[in-house]
Amino acid sequence: MPPDTAGERLDRAAVLLWPGVGLRGRRRLIEAGAVAVDGRVRGSAYRVRVGEKLAALDLPAAPEVFCAGDVPILFRGEAYAALAKPAGLHSAAIAQGGGQSLESLLPALFPDARARLLSRLDRLTSGIVPVALTEAAAAAYRRAEAAGGVEKTYLCVVHGTVAAPLIVDNALDVADRARTRLLQRTDPDRLRHTAVSPLEALPGLTLLACRIAKGARHQIRAHLAGIGHPLVGDPVYGHGEGERLYLHCAGLVALGLDVSNPPPWTLAGAMAAVLGAQTRDGAK
């Protein structure tokens, strides 16, 4: 490491190893164990010292857990299709060791078309992902999305009581970081707002329907956590109870698509996850 890197975080200093890889990609590689500092694997926040030697390490190929049979096709027409993505599967193929993705399964799901994803869900989020089967269909969907012609409905379970419908219109800072930050100003783009409606409640938890249009990275998770209602099971914005994030894309309306898909979980299951986490924490 040269003198001008003294005290720099490893994820920034690692640009010397991978000049063409962005910050998030470098973090992914580091956390996967692909960087050694003087022969020792370090984390992204490690502060480098002058004279230390960085080395890129080969990573074993990630095991393929999912196959095309794990992804139901909810709808297929001439121009569009809709898939039900399971939790635990990335939406888009990610370079730098991101793991298996829904995008990588598209050739097996649609062998007769050049299918492309039209939206993404976080790895932990399940539910509907629209797919274009032609380039023209993809372009038409993007135009409709920019004009507010796409509506996506998510179901989620949050901590606390949400008694009445509301709109979360805070702008979000989605810069190159692991956590999207809620800003204390209104986003002028209404397509980036989250419309929230309570559906059902148990003591300390509320099942919500959230409607968004274009959507931003971690929009629902960050918006709800920012107003004091983190999602059950969220390891980034909440407490990370259990092994499931209680967020599911349950509805999509756009350009002739009108698709619904119920979540693979229930409000009662979320309550069980919360109580189980409390029991484990109390036993420590």
18 three-class SS: coil
- Do 119 and 80 touch, CB atoms closer than 8 A? no
Give the chain's mean pLDDT.
92
135-188: pLDDT as tens digits: 999 999 999 999 999 999 999 999 999 999 999 999 999 875 678 999 999 999
Rounded average pLDDT over 103-123:
95
Q: Cα–Cα distance between 261 and 15 in angstroms, integer?
A: 42
Which pLDDT score is estimated for 18?
87
Which pLDDT score is estimated for 31?
80
Rounded average pLDDT over 20-49:
87
CA angle centred on 87, ends 65 and 133, rounded to 5°: 85
> Who wins on pLDDT, 44 or 71?
71
pTM: 0.83
Confidence of residue 95 (pLDDT cuts 50, 70, 90): low
